[in-house]
Amino acid sequence: MTTNFEIARQGAGSFAAPQNRVLRNTYMLLGLSMVPTVLGALVGIQMGFSFFAGSPLISFVLFMAIAFGFMWGIEKNKDSGLGVALLLGFTFFMGLMLSRILQFALGFSNGGSMIALAAGGTGAIFFTLSSIAATSKRDFTGMGKFLFAGVILVLLAIVANIFFQIPALSLAISAAVVGIFSAYILYDISRIVQGGETNYVSATLAVYLNVYNVFVGLLQLIMALTGERE
């Protein structure tokens, strides 16, 4: 006879299987998305690409419009191959955008080591927090509203600092970005594990933005604290 314990175990297993598949596919697509990101960054460095060469405010608004356009398209087509193609196109665009800060970092005598340190730190943060979210019995999805409020405050601070150009505020923004998007890694991986996110394209987009922002924030902090001019 099948015991109640066996029935419960079989039920839990059937629930976990789809979530494990979403998590596995998310990690695979996340790894793939790094390829166009690196290519975009290399192309941008070779071209001397600078999206923010003109008015910083207009450039920021234009960047946000393009980014949200991509994200809208990805979400609209997340159940088809077009969604994956748009995601990879978006990551190439984000790589182009990343090239500006990489060019700036490479202007320091220790630029290469700072970029490597930021990349290593980002990898360590992602591996640690994603592992905690995937294996812990705790549900981290309750942080969503708090983290969203934090993102809004950071965006307002970024806009304000376009006008004021306060170095201390720039540091505070970078630190806040690292903290908020590190927490978002916990949140987004936990959503997959808890069954709140069932589409791996949407999940990859969210986790990619977390990793991207943690890397940029870390690199800005590292440059400010350890950058050495030639």
Pick 165 or 85 by higher pLDDT: 85
Judged against a pLDDT cut of 60, whether residue 4 lies above it is answered with: no
pTM to 2 decimal places: 0.88
Mean pLDDT over 107-133 rounds to 93
Q: Supply the range of the domain harboring residue 154.
A: 4-226
Q: In this predicted structure, what is the pLDDT of residue 51?
A: 66
Q: What is the pLDDT of residue 47?
A: 87
For the stretch 81-110, pLDDT in tens is 999 999 999 999 999 999 999 999 998 989
Domain count, the chain: 1
Mean pLDDT, residues 143-168 = 89
- Tokens (6 digits) for 212: 């991207």
pLDDT in tens, 173-213: 999 999 999 999 999 999 998 888 889 999 999 999 999 99
52 vs 221 pLDDT, higher one:
221
Tell me the C-alpha distance between 8 and 203, whole Å: 28
Instruction: Produce one character per residue of 65-93: b if its CB has 16 or more CB atoms within 10 Å, e if not.
Output: eeeeebbebbeebbeeeebbebbbebbbb
What integer pLDDT is reported at residue 98 of this predicted model?
93
Nearest to 105 by CA among 215, 213, 222, 210: 222
Handedness of CA 142, 179, 26, 216 (dihedral sign): positive
